[in-house]
Amino acid sequence: MRTLRENKINFYKNELNFRKIAQELYKDNATEHSIYICDLTKVQRQFELWQDCLPNIKPYYAVKTNNDALVVKTLAELGAGFDCASVEEMQMVLEAGVTGDRIIFAHPCKPLSHLQYAQQHQINISTVDTEFELFKLKQHFPNSDIVLRFRSDAKICGWPLGKKFGCEAQTDTAALILLARSLQLKIAGTSFHVGCECEDLEAFVRALSTARELYDVGKMLGYDMNFVDIGGGYHGGNNEFFKKIAKTISSSLDLYFGNEPIKCISEPGRYFVEAAFTLVCKITGKREMRNALGQLESIMYFINDGKYGSFIDTGRDFSNVMYFSENHLEQQKYKTTIWGPTCDSTDKIVDNLYLPRLHRGDLLAFPNMGAYTLCLASKFNGIPLPKVVYYQQQN
């Protein structure tokens, strides 16, 4: 991946020492923005694990998860496909050297200008879940390879998607296939998404069973619906659980499709990037709360990132936060609340955390911050967005 190392952004090679890198980045006291350390080697290793566990399913990275240009470039060079939902995402992927046949326009409801852009760049695979979208494609992109998305929800997941996307498999899909045939549109296959951070292994079994039923319906109606998109929903920081999901998916594909000549893809997002990004923040202020006897009971820390920045998802696990201090740390830990930098009184990141007594200028590092963080951050209250530096092992 030599082209990445030629980029004019700092790279740290061979020695991934968060303390050393973080302190070097913050040695200039004028540096007040938070900083991401991105380990591109982890992205590559996740890709290699995918190939080992699901060799017959091509991953199409969900760009919305983290649209960092070097992450996209890394996955492009590794051979991944891409799940895009807008002109900007498609443009970014194309600029990384990816051709249109490696992109799925996976948003089920597409603005016309975005659809026209896809057509101009030969991004033919397009996801649909309503009759209105079929009519839109008939008028504006009749040569699309249409993928029919049906609803199939996991019983346990972090973010269910079925209320918004996916037609009802038992009541809507046959009518949509018939409508497509009457409009002389091509139905190339089916797709589903069980929900983000799925913990229900059987969700994939149920969904693939439905996909096979629709495959057979398509055959009866004259379609060769051999494209199967199994969506995403995989954890980013739990590879052992991913291996269990992969085993379930593989056995279900064998059970329901056997030797059928299908092309199967998936749309992993956080799987690739969650564990690759660590956020380093500076303590800019503190408040110590004492009891009537003057004994220290709890501490508030104010840092340079918050819920309007990288911590928009405040339901994260912060038990593995790291702290770096130039001063000697007491062994005792105190009940701690961490606040973000804005003037909003609800800009709280976490409370009931226990940390030693830290000081202004000390650093806190938050692992597993690569998914749905920087891509959602705003500059509310004039707080600058985090910077990103990159680490990559040399081959």
pLDDT in tens, 193-203: 987 777 788 88
| Confidence (pTM) | 0.91
Mean pLDDT within 33-39: 91
Domain boundaries, the chain: 2-38+274-391, 67-268
Cross-strand bridge partners of residue 264: 57, 228
**211 versus 7: which is more confidently predicted?**
211
Residue among 198, 281, 343, 375 flagged as catalytic: 343
Percent of the chain with pLDDT over 70: 92
Whole-angstrom distance, CA of residue 62 vs CA of residue 82: 6
Is 264 considered catalytic here? no
| pLDDT at 27 > cutoff 90 | no
pLDDT value, residue 319: 85
Average pLDDT over all residues of the chain:
89
Cross-strand bridge partners of residue 191: 149, 229
Neighbours of 162 (CB within 10 A): 17
| pLDDT at 14 > cutoff 60 | no
pLDDT value, residue 3: 36
Percent of the chain with pLDDT over 90: 72
Q: With cut-offs at 50, 70 and 90, classify the pLDDT of residue 252.
A: very high
Rounded to the nearest 10 degrees, what angle do helices 131-140 and 112-120 cross at? 50
Region 67-268: CATH code: 3.20.20.10
Mean pLDDT within 39-57: 96
| pLDDT at 258 > cutoff 50 | yes
Mean pLDDT within 340-355: 94
Residue 304 DSSP label? S
Q: Which fold has domain 2-38+274-391?
A: Lyase, Ornithine Decarboxylase; Chain A, domain 1 (2.40.37)
Mean pLDDT within 67-93: 97
pLDDT value, residue 314: 66
pLDDT value, residue 46: 97
- Token pair listed for 235: 């954890």
**Which residue, 316, 355, 308, is CA-closest to 333?**
355
Cross-strand bridge partners of residue 199: none
| pLDDT at 104 > cutoff 80 | yes
pLDDT value, residue 185: 96
Whole-angstrom distance, CA of residue 49 vs CA of residue 251: 18
Whole-angstrom distance, CA of residue 233 vs CA of residue 199: 9
Mean pLDDT within 282-298: 94
pLDDT value, residue 157: 66
